A and B are shown apart, each in its own frame.
Chain A
Amino acid sequence: MMKIAMYQARDVARSRWIAAYALFFFASAEALIRFNGGDARAVLSLSSIVLYLVPLVTVVFGTVYVYGSREFTELLLAQPVSRRSLFGGLYVGLTAPLTAALVAGLALPFVLHGVHGQTAMLAALIGAGVALTMTFTAIAFCIAMWCDDRLRGLALAIAVWMVAAILYDGVILTIVAAFADYPVERSILVLTLANPIDLARVSLLLQLDISALMGYTGAVFQQFLGSAIGTAVAAAALALWIAAPVSIGLRAFRRRDF
C-alpha cells in the first residue's frame, strides 16, 4: 500500500495545481502577517479562507484526479495487489500532497517571520484544514466510484461543496430565525455535527474564546459543552467524518466492476 501511495503522491505533488495551491496559502498568510503583524486577526482571516477553499479544492481536484486515473487504476488492478491496499494507496497518495501543500503554505510565512504568538491557534487551523482535506478527498473518491460520468461527477462535487460550505449555514440561520421563540439550540448542535465544515469552524472557534463573535453554531457549542468537552466532541465528529467516507469509498471500490 505504501508503495502505491509513494508513486501516486509523487505524481500528484508534481502537478502544477498543487504548487499553485500551496502558493496561494503562502501568499495569503504572508499578506496577512505583513498587514497586521500576525496576531489573532490574521489567523482568523486565514481560517475563513481555509474553511471555504480547502473543501472546494480538495473535492474538485480529487474528483478530477480520480476520473483522470481511471485507466491507470485498471492497469494497477491487473497487478497482484488487493483492492483494499490499492484503494488505501491511492487515497493516501492523493491526500498526502494536498495536506503537505496546505501545511507548508500556511505555516511557512509564520516561521519565516518568527511570529509565535498564535502558535496554538495556527496549529488548530492547520489541524482543521488537514481534517477537511481528508474528508473531502474521501468524498471525491465516493463520487468518482458512484458516478460513471465525469461531468456529472464534477457537478456533484461542486454541489457537495456548495451545500456544505454555503447553503447549510443559510438553512441553519433560517431555522434559528423562524423558531426564534423556541429553544432550538440542541437541534442546531446536532445540525452542526452533520456538516464537516461547520464542525471544523466550531472546533477552531472554541480555541479562540471569541466563539460568540462568529456564527451561531459556535456560540451554541460553547454554551452547551464548554471549550474542553466541545473540542473533544467536535474532534471525534470530525474523525467520524473522515472514517465514514473512506469506508464507503473502500466498499464501493472493492465491489466495483472496472
Chain B
Amino acid sequence: MITASGLWKRFDGVEVLRGLDVDIVPGRVTAIVGPNGAGKTTFIKSILGLTRPDQGVLLFDGAPITDCVAYRRRIGYMPQIARFPENLTGLELLAFLRELRHSDVSDERLIDELDLRDELPKKLRVMSGGTRQKVNAVAAFLFAPELLILDEPTSGLDPVAAGILKRRMHAERLDGRTVILTSHVLSEVEELADDVVFLCDGRVRFAGALDSLKHETGQLTLERSLATLMTREAAA
C-alpha cells in the first residue's frame, strides 16, 4: 500500500531519515518500532505529507504522494498528542472533520465502545486528557479509512480503554484494513502486529513478519529479538 524508497530527511543539520526503504503491505498491521529519535514520527509524517523528504520517493498505491491531497481521504490519522480547539465541542470537532473530508461514512462503533456518547457534547476544554485521547481515536476511525495511521495510540489511555482500542484495531484488520502503528509498548506490538519495521538512526534495521524476526534472532519475545538485533549491530 505504501512504498518508500531512499527517503532522506534532514532537520537543522540532523539527519533524521537516512535512506529509508519500507514496504507496507495492505491488509496487515505494521508496527514501526525503534528508540526515541529513530525517525518513526518523521516517517509517519512523510506519509501524511506533513513533512517533505529531501530525497526519495513515497508511493501510495503506486502513485507518488508529492503535493497530492486526495489520497488523504483514504487515511485516518491519530496523532500522538491530542490537542484540539478548546472551545469546540467533541461533536463539533467530528462534524468539522467530516465536512473537510466530504464523507458520508460514519463508523461510530468506537464511540459506543469507549462510552463517549455523553462526553461528546461537552467542550474539549473541559474534557480530561484521557477523554481527549479517546476523541482522538474516534476521529481516526470514524470515516472507515482504508489505512489507519496511529502514533502511540494507547499512550494516555487507561488500560480498559487501551484494551478496547486494541480490539478495534484487530477488528479493522480482520475487515481487511491496513494499520500502521508506532509504539514503545512491545507487548502491545506483539499482540497486534503482523509485520515489524525496526528503525534505528533513520535506517531500517529489520523489516518483515514478526515471526520471522523472532526466528531470525532465535528469541521468543519481540523485546529480546530487538535487543539481539541491536547487540549484533554494535558488534558489527
Given the complex of chains A and B, what is the CA–CA distance between A76 and B49 in angstroms? 11
In this complex, the member of B11, B50, B92 whose beta carbon has the largest number of chain A beta carbons within 10 angstroms is: B50
Shortest CB–CB separation between residue A25 and chain B, in angstroms? 21
Shortest CB–CB separation between residue B73 and chain A, in angstroms? 4
Chain B residues with CB under 8 Å of A35's CB are: none
Chain A residues with CB under 8 Å of B81's CB are: 71
Given the complex of chains A and B, what is the CA–CA distance between A12 and B83 in angstroms? 15
- Supposing A79-B72, A81-B69 touch, asked if A71 and B83 sit within 8 A by C-beta, the answer is yes
B49, B73, B87: the one contacting A15 at CB < 8 Å is: B87
Interface residues of A in 1-26 (CB under 8 A from B): 3-4, 7-8, 10-15
Q: Is B51 an interface residue, CB under 8 A from the partner?
A: yes
Contact B52 A257 (CB under 8 A): yes
In the complex, per-residue mask of A62-86: 1 if CB is within 8 Å of any chain B CB, else 0: 0000001111101111111110000
In the complex, per-residue mask of B95-108: 1 if CB is within 8 Å of any chain A CB, else 0: 01101111000000
In this complex, the member of A10, A70, A72, A82 whose beta carbon has the largest number of chain B beta carbons within 10 angstroms is: A72
In the complex, per-residue mask of B205-232: 1 if CB is within 8 Å of any chain A CB, else 0: 0000000000000000000000000000
- Supposing A15-B87, A71-B83, A80-B70 touch, asked if A3 and B75 sit within 8 A by C-beta, the answer is no
Q: Which residue of B lies closest to A10 (CB)?
A: B88
Q: Is A258 an interface residue, CB under 8 A from the partner?
A: yes
- Supposing A10-B92, A257-B11, A258-B45 touch, asked if A78 and B85 sit within 8 A by C-beta, the answer is no
Chain B residues with CB under 8 Å of A68's CB are: 83
Interface residues of A in 52-111 (CB under 8 A from B): 68-72, 74-82
Chain A residues with CB under 8 Å of B49's CB are: 77-78
Chain A residues with CB under 8 Å of B15's CB are: none
- Bin chain B's interface residue count: 20 to 34
Given the complex of chains A and B, what is the CA–CA distance between A255 and B183 in angstroms? 29
Q: Is B77 an interface residue, CB under 8 A from the partner?
A: yes
Given the complex of chains A and B, what is the CA–CA distance between A12 and B88 in angstroms? 9
Chain B residues with CB under 8 Å of A78's CB are: 48-50, 72, 75, 77, 79, 149
Contact A3 B50 (CB under 8 A): no
Q: Is B86 an interface residue, CB under 8 A from the partner?
A: yes
CB-based A-B contact count at 8 angstroms: 74
B45, B52, B101: the one contacting A80 at CB < 8 Å is: B101
- Supposing A75-B77, A257-B51 touch, asked if A7 and B88 sit within 8 A by C-beta, the answer is yes
Q: Is B60 an interface residue, CB under 8 A from the partner?
A: no
Given the complex of chains A and B, what is the CA–CA distance between A8 and B52 in angstroms? 26
A12, A71, A81: the one contacting B79 at CB < 8 Å is: A71
Contact B87 A11 (CB under 8 A): yes
Contact B50 A77 (CB under 8 A): yes
Q: Which residue of B lies closest to A15 (CB)?
A: B87
Contact B85 A72 (CB under 8 A): yes
Given contacts A7-B96, A15-B86, A77-B49, 20 further A-B contacts (CB under 8 A): A7-B88, A10-B88, A10-B92, A11-B85, A11-B86, A11-B87, A13-B87, A69-B85, A71-B81, A71-B82, A71-B83, A72-B84, A72-B85, A75-B84, A76-B100, A77-B48, A78-B48, A78-B75, A79-B72, A257-B11
| 8 A-B pairs closest in CB distance | A14-B87, A11-B85, A71-B83, A78-B77, A257-B51, A258-B50, A80-B72, A7-B96
Which residues of B are interface residues toward A (Cβ below 8 A)? Answer: 11, 45, 48-52, 69-73, 75, 77, 79, 81-88, 92, 96-97, 99-102, 139, 149
Can you report 30 residue pairs joining A to B where beta carbons are below 8 Å apart? Answer: A3-B96, A7-B88, A7-B92, A10-B92, A11-B85, A11-B87, A12-B87, A15-B86, A15-B87, A68-B83, A69-B83, A69-B85, A72-B85, A75-B79, A77-B49, A78-B49, A78-B72, A78-B75, A78-B77, A78-B79, A78-B149, A79-B100, A79-B101, A80-B69, A81-B69, A257-B45, A257-B50, A257-B51, A257-B52, A258-B51
